[in-house]
Each structure stands twice: as C-alpha cells, then as structure tokens.
Amino acid sequence: MYCGTMRELEIYDAQHERFERAYAWLRAQDLAHMPLGDYEIGGPDVVAHVQEYMTTPLSECLFESHRHHYDIQYVISGTERFGLAHPDALAASEDHPDRDITLYPLPAQYGSVLLGPGEFIIVSPQDAHAPHMMLEAPARMRKAVIKIEMD
C-alpha cells in the first residue's frame, strides 16, 4: 500500500508500463468535469472508473481484496476514511472470481487513513481495503479508481 498526493506519483513508480499509463492518464484529465463511467487507458489491462457516491456508515462497510488487480484510488473531491487490513486476518463472506473481488465483513481491528482531494492510495492484491467509510456524516465523494491487471 502506498498513499500520497499527485505530486508524489513518481515516487511510487512500480517499474511497470501499466502504472506509467495510469499516472499519465490521471495527470492529463480534467477529472472534476469528466463524465462518470469507465475508461480504458491504452487497453483493457488498465481501466479507470470515474465515480461518485456517498460515504457509508462503518456498520455498512465491507472490506475487499483482489487477486489480479492493483487499485489506484484517487480522490477528486470529498474526504473518506479508507480501511486497510491483511486479507489473511479476515474471513471471506463473498467471493466473485469473475469480477476479481472477495468481500469481507468489517473486522474488529483494522488500520485506516483519511483520503481527501488530490490524494491517492495504491493497494496491491495483498491489501484488503475498505473504501467509502464516512467520517462523522455521509459525504459526497468523486473518485477515479484505476484497476491495473497484473499477470
């Protein structure tokens, strides 16, 4: 897991061309005005999902992990708590291999970071994570989530 701001993307260069494509796309877009939806970035192995949602009470949050994808979650507007845990410490409640996602109920203990406008987090397949967590009250979020498929 890595987190930071747009200025720091080069620090987290994963030495892979797919990450470079994702970083270049993030820098080149007017994300605040881009229509919601899915965008291939040079092919189906790097896909951005521009989305808006309301943050969720902790009691309704789920953790998730992926087997084959890294996530770059970049906050365009809003602030959310982003949960982190190791998937080995969690008990899966749902597994959807066709969508490369395993879901877990909220554990008793986990770490978290706050993500606000201009900040990102990169989560690897080894990182269980819980986006959408509200702070004190539900808030509107706009985010670009880039899925990077790794062989």
Domains (range + CATH), the chain: 2-149 (2.60.120.370)
Q: Amino acid identity of 89? A: A
Q: Which residues pair with 143 in a beta bridge?
A: 51, 75
3-state secondary structure of 14: coil
- Residue-level pLDDT at 1: 58
Has residue 11 got a pLDDT over 70?
Answer: no
Contacts of 90 (CB under 8 A, 6+ apart): 63, 104, 105, 107, 128
Has residue 7 got a pLDDT over 70?
Answer: no
Mean pLDDT computed over 29-44: 97
Rounded Cα distance between 106 and 84, Å, is 10
- Residue-level pLDDT at 6: 64
Contacts of 34 (CB under 8 A, 6+ apart): 50
- Residue-level pLDDT at 128: 94
> pLDDT > 90: what percent of the chain?
80
Of 65, 67, 73, 72, nearest in space to 103 by CA: 65
Tens of pLDDT, residue by residue over 79-137, are 999 999 988 889 999 999 999 999 999 998 999 999 999 999 999 887 899 999 999 99
